[in-house]
Amino acid sequence: MDRILTRFRKVDDLLFYRINGSKQLYRSFFGYVTHLGGARFTVASVLILFFLTQYHPQMKRTVMAAMITLCISHIIMTFIKKLVKRIRPYLTLPNAMVHGYEFKDHSFPSGHSTAIFSITIPFMIQYPSTMLILFPLSWLVGYSRVVLGVHYPSDVVAGAFLAFSTTLMVLLFIR
C-alpha cells in the first residue's frame, strides 16, 4: 500500500510541476478564471438564478439542487480538509510557484473546484447541452488552482468528485 501511495504522490507532483505556471500571461488569465470558483461568484450566481427562475419550476429545481449541493459539499469539504491536513504544494515542493494569495489552510480537497462543480453539475445533469460550456469552464477553474500553485491536481479531482457525489445525493432527495 505504501508503494502505491508513494507512486501516486510522485505522479501528482509531476503533474503539478507540468501545470504550475511560470509565464505572466498564463498566470494572469488563470488568476481571473480562478475567481469563478470563489465564494462570491458561486453564491452570487445561485442567488441570482434563484430569483430569475421564479416562474420556471424545472429550472428552479435545478437551481435549488445547486444551492443545496454547494452548501452540503462545503461542509463535507471543510471536514475533509481538517481530517486529511494536506499541506499546500507551494509550501512543500521545491521550486513550486505560487501566484496571488497564499492560503494557510489545508489543500485537500480544492474548495474552488468543489464550489464550481457543485453549481454546474446539477445543470449539466438536468440540461446536458450545457455541458459543452459548463464542463470546460469548471475544468478551467480547477486547472487554475494548480497553475497558481495552491493545489495539487488530485485536490482538484477530489473537489470535483465531492461535488458530483453530493449532487447525486441531493438530486435523489429533492424529486
Instruction: Locate all alpha helices (DSSP H) within 20-127, ordered by sequence.
Output: 24-33, 39-52, 57-84, 89-92, 111-126
The stretch 135-164 carries a mean pLDDT of: 95
The stretch 88-101 carries a mean pLDDT of: 84
Q: What is the pLDDT of residue 175?
A: 66
Q: What is the pLDDT of residue 4?
A: 85
Q: What is the pLDDT of residue 164?
A: 97
Nearest to 141 by CA among 49, 13, 45: 45
Specify whether the CB–CB gap between 149 and 34 falls below 8 A: no
Read off the pTM: 0.91
Q: What is the pLDDT of residue 99?
A: 79
Q: What is the pLDDT of residue 74?
A: 96
Using CA atoms, how far residue 115 sits from 30, 124, 154, 157, in Å, is: 17, 15, 16, 12
- Three-class DSSP category at 107: coil
* Chain segment 31-84, per-residue pLDDT in tens: 889 988 998 999 999 999 999 988 888 899 999 999 999 999 999 999 999 999
